[in-house]
Amino acid sequence: DTAVSQTPKYLVTQMGNDKSIKCEQNLGHDTMYWYKQDSKKFLKIMFSYNNKELIINETVPNRFSPKSPDKAHLNLHINSLELGDSAVYFCASSTRERIYGNTIYFGEGSWLTVV
């Protein structure tokens, strides 16, 4: 009964490949996110998405794209992988029932290594 689950947990792939990381939440939340944690442990928002709008951090390369088949899923697609994409990617979700502020829950992370 994991609240936010990501697969795969570990992914090693070659430069130039296209890969996807899947995320599912069973909390009934209406907003999902992708965060990237770099080698210095710095966490940065990549995307937030609910059924009405997608907000993209302007620093995210367009090789990265979120895809949401339904409210409970937000998958991350990465095209033409580069060495600098190596990082831990965290999926998260929250509810926006309260307009000002909400508690966010993270998945366990997906360790991506590009070689």
Partner 1 sequence: GIQVEQSPPDLILQEGANSTLRCNFSDSVNNLQWFHQNPWGQLINLFYIPSGTKQNGRLSATTVATERYSLLYISSSQTTDSGVYFCAVARGSQGNLIFGKGTKLSVKP
**Contacts to partner 1 by CB under 8 A:** 31, 33, 40-45, 48, 55, 57, 88, 90, 94, 96, 99-106, 108-109, 111
Nearer to partner 1, 13 or 109 (CB): 109
Minimal distance in Å, beta carbon 55 to partner 1?
Answer: 7
Nearer to partner 1, 79 or 105 (CB): 105
SS3 of residue 85 by DSSP: helix
Distances (CA, A) of 59 to 7, 25, 33, 44, 83: 24, 26, 15, 10, 17
Nearer to partner 1, 75 or 93 (CB): 93
Minimal distance in Å, beta carbon 108 to partner 1?
Answer: 6
Minimal distance in Å, beta carbon 16 to partner 1?
Answer: 27
Nearer to partner 1, 31 or 75 (CB): 31
Sign of the dihedral defined by the CA atoms of residues 32, 109, 89, 106, in that order: positive
Q: Which element (helix H / strand E) includes 21?
A: strand 19-25
Minimal distance in Å, beta carbon 70 to partner 1?
Answer: 20
| 82 contacts: CB under 8 Å, gap ≥ 6 | 15, 63, 114
